[in-house]
Structure 1
Amino acid sequence: MTIIEDYCSAVRSSITNDGHPPLEASGLKLQENLTLIEQSLERMEKRSALPPPLVNLKHLLAKGLSATASLFSPVRVAYQWVDKASNILNNKIGLDAAGVKQSYQQLLTEMSQQKQKAGTLNTAIDNFIKTTHSYWSGLFHCYEIEDFPRTNNDLEHAFGMLRYHQRRCTGRKVAPSSLVIRGSVKLACAIATKLHSFTASDLAQVDIHTWLELRSQLQKHHKARIEQYRFRRDPKAYLANLESRLL
């Protein structure tokens, strides 16, 4: 009875194992583990008679694996490409930015040319390639600049550190609203000053026209925030003013 319960525990463990998404496909792991259990029962059946509950379990596993075999084939192909993409971007072999970019482009070309192997997931492959190209211009900076945030988690950590220091400097419980308006400048300054101590001569070399354009963009954001605040404070008066101006 104990052996039967242990086999059932193995099946339950396989079903409830979610793995570590997104780079580990829990469905593929489920199929692999259930296949191992079925093979174990088949080996034991050849050596000696199985108890009826284990015979039933073996038949259930065989039936389920047979019915879903065709569904896992596209997933397996797609995740092989996902695994390759992950290894390229992890860059454990230490390629420079150009090398990583070339390797990743070769993978995308392979996926595009052989996407029919993914079967029902070929549209997902198209979406993967399209989304990758939308991030292409900024995808490889982290291999050129030391300590540059590589992932969304790393980037969120950089944002969090900036908010933390803003709260400590101002004594507020939350980051000031100005961080939303000037965040693109403040975040860049916070990261850049960690890597290099800037002097007055460094600042004097900044293009004045670029600086004025950036100031203009920040002022537009600031004005938009003010208008939003005015509407929230008194919607009727805000709309009445707009109607008056329109007339």
Structure 2
Amino acid sequence: MGKRNNIQSIRLQHGLSEALKCFTDDYDQLSEVAGWLIHISTLLDPDENPSRTGDEVENELVEYLDQLLEQNKDNPTLFIFASKIRKTTRNYASGLFHTYDLPALPRTNNDRESEFRGLNQRLLRTTGQKGATKRMIQCSGAWELIPRPGNLEETISAFSSVDMEVFREE
């Protein structure tokens, strides 16, 4: 019984090795692209580099992306990846580099985006609706900026104190 299992294991190993050979080129290319992204991340990281202006960071990144395009012009797959990264960078450039000019300004607005995601989750959890309630709240004012009550009793108390006529006018 053990010898039979061993032969099956060897066959399985051989079959998997042959199957993986089909993906070696794709894996190698994707690994190279992953390396590019790591390099870009390091290039953009203010803690990994000396203090630079937004223009300097943008120029370094554009130079690197241009270099990738030039190096990979004979490899269609890698050229497509490099082109896509370059295009995406151009699309976001207007909001990407100005943060380097103001040291105290955070580079992303992830915390703010988390607040909006939290609002959407609370709306869905409390109303069971995605669209109509969200549109009503967006039309009614900037509710997401108001600190939310900590529990159900505080929520009931907060909503009970709002005059419906004032709410409608608002």
Distance 1:94 1:158, change over 3 A: farther
Out of 138, 141, 158, the residue aligned to residue 178 of structure 1 is 141
Distance in structure 2 (CA, Å) of the matches to 1:140 and 1:122: 25
Could you tell which deviates more after superposition, 120-129 or 104-113? 120-129
User: What are the superposed Cα offsets for residues 212-247 of structure 1, whole Å, 9 maximum, x if unpaired?
Assistant: xxxxxxxxxxxxxxxxxxxxxxxxxxxxxxxxxxxx
Considering Cα pairs closer than 8 Å and 6+ residues apart, tell me whether 1 or 2 has the greater RCO.
Answer: 2
CA RMSD in angstroms comes to: 3.6
Where does the alignment leave 5 or more consecutive residues of structure 2 unmatched? 120-136, 146-170
Out of 61, 78, 84, the residue aligned to residue 104 of structure 1 is 61
The answer to whether the Cα contact below 8 Å between 1:142 and 1:150 also exists between their aligned partners in 2 is: yes
Where does the alignment leave 5 or more consecutive residues of structure 1 unmatched? 2-49, 164-173, 187-247
| 1:88 aligned onto 2:43 | yes
Identity of aligned residues (%): 26
| 1:138 aligned onto 2:95 | yes
Residues 136-175 of structure 1 mapped to structure 2, 5 A cutoff: 136-151=93-108, 153-157=110-114
TM-score, with structure 2 as normaliser:
0.56
Distance in structure 2 (CA, Å) of the matches to 1:52 and 1:80: 39
Residues 19-168 of structure 1 mapped to structure 2, 5 A cutoff: 51-91=6-46, 92-97=48-53, 98-116=55-73, 118-151=75-108, 153-157=110-114
Distance in structure 1 (CA, Å) of the matches to 2:112 and 2:104: 11
Structure ID, larger Rg: 1
TM-score, with structure 1 as normaliser:
0.41
Distance in structure 1 (CA, Å) of the matches to 2:79 and 2:35: 14
Residue identity opposite 1:65 in structure 2 = L
Partner of 1:20: none
Q: How many residues align?
A: 124
* Aligned-pair CA distance for 1:118: 5.0
Distance in structure 1 (CA, Å) of the matches to 2:112 and 2:72: 32
Distance in structure 2 (CA, Å) of the matches to 1:150 and 1:59: 49
The answer to whether the Cα contact below 8 Å between 2:69 and 2:79 also exists between their aligned partners in 1 is: no
User: What are the superposed Cα offsets for residues 96-136 of structure 1, whole Å, 9 maximum, x if unpaired?
Assistant: 22442232122111122123365324223222211211222
